[in-house]
Amino acid sequence: MSKRFFLKTAASLAAVGFLGLGLAQAQTTPIKFQLDWRFEGPSALFLTPVAKGYFKDAKLDVTVDAGNGSGGAVTRVASGAYDMGFADLAAVMEFHANNPEAPNKPVAVMMVYNDTPASVMALKKSGIKTPADLNGKKLGAPVFDAGRRAFPIFAKANAISGVSWTAMDPPLRETMLVRGDIDAITGFTFTSLLNLEARGVKAADVMVLPYPAFGVKLYGNAIIASPKLIKENPEAIKAFLAAFSKGAKDVIANPGAAINDVKARDGIVNVALETRRLQLAIDTVINSANARAEGFGQVNGPRLALMASQVSDAFNTKTRINPDAVWNGSFLPPKATLDVLPKK
């Protein structure tokens, strides 16, 4: 074998190798995913399938970034900066109704929090025991808080009137309640309750009025996708939801282990605290009675339509919300894959 022949053969093999590598890379779809909030317990739902390679096995290169609110997640997916995200369905509805001409309105493709995590929380020493006790009281929350935005729905369902609001940055919400600057707050139960504990308040001393327990049947957070991704690569969405479901089943079965995947992304998280936060989220909004009745990942048509009407009214949107425009369940995995909730 001549030296020239050897070199030509080696070059050809190298070219084939590079071509194979290129084809393998071409078969892997990059997905930029925007969370609704910082890395906390519930973000394990997305970080665990990354850590366990479930997305990679589905030929997806998924990067998960922390967020600063559902509104931000919706606008970033709408802008094209992210392909998919996690956001409160009410925020998705609001974006649709207030931006009817927007060309890239995100669409919800899987329900994760079947019930809204929003609640009103007060210290028991305030005397607030029922929604009726909120009449004339001073409530506080950031202006973008999902519970505050949806409070008119809660108020209507419980005949509450005369409430005044104080706005603040998120880190001050629980602090102002503890100081007595406000009578009650709105927030996600699994966020604010544990934040109150971190400020020295025992859980037993907090009165929690969950929206779902008092006539508010809003859905919570859903996985959203950009219309561009829906049009150009629907198979990637199907693959993402299937891999996510596999990871969600692991997280729900063993929250303590899943928190290690959150810790790997943010080394300063309190493992014990975030494990409790994740378990609270699972118990209250993921493995809820409604979720078990409707099926994980899915929605009920009449309930979705009612929410669209209620959000249109409460948020005073420019146009009425079309429930069929904000939800597309055609990418959901088979029933067996969606069987992630523990049996009761």
Q: Where are the domains of the chain?
A: 24-115+219-331, 118-214
Q: Is the dihedral of CA 107, 329, 314, 87 positive or negative?
A: negative
- Which CATH number does 24-115+219-331 carry? 3.40.190.10
State how far Cα 228 lies from the chain centre.
21
Output the pLDDT for position 4: 56
Share of the chain above pLDDT 70, in %: 92
| pLDDT for the residue numbered 8 | 55
Burial of 31 from C-beta contacts in 10 A (0-12 / 13-18 / 19+): buried
**CA 117/CA 145 separation, integer angstroms:** 11
The CATH number of domain 118-214, selected from 3.40.190.10, 3.30.420.40, 3.50.50.60, 3.20.20.70: 3.40.190.10
Q: DSSP string covering 207-228, please?
A: EEEEGGGGT-----EEEEE-HH
Predicted local confidence at residue 16, as pLDDT: 46
Q: How far is CA 116 from the centre of its chain?
A: 10
Please identify which residue in the block is written with the tokens 């001549």: 2
| Digit-coded pLDDT (tens) for 271-326 | 999 999 999 999 999 999 999 999 999 999 999 999 999 999 999 999 999 999 99
Alpha helices in the chain (DSSP H): 3-26, 44-51, 54-57, 70-79, 89-98, 146-149, 151-158, 173-179, 189-198, 227-232, 234-253, 255-265, 271-281, 289-294, 301-314, 323-326
Enclosing H/E stretch for 34: strand 29-34
CA dist., res. 220 & res. 311, Å (int): 12
* pLDDT tens profile 210-230: 999 999 999 999 999 999 999
Please determine, for residue 209, whether its predicted confidence score (pLDDT) is greater than 90.
yes
Among the listed residues 155, 265, 168, 153, the one whose alpha carbon sits nearest the alpha carbon of residue 219: 153
Q: What is the pLDDT of residue 17?
A: 53
User: CA torsion angle for 312, 210, 326, 229 (degrees, to 10)?
Assistant: 140
Shared fold status for 24-115+219-331 and 118-214:
yes
Q: What is the pTM of this model?
A: 0.90
The span from the CA of 64 to the CA of 62, in Å, is: 6
Structure tokens at 1: 């074998």
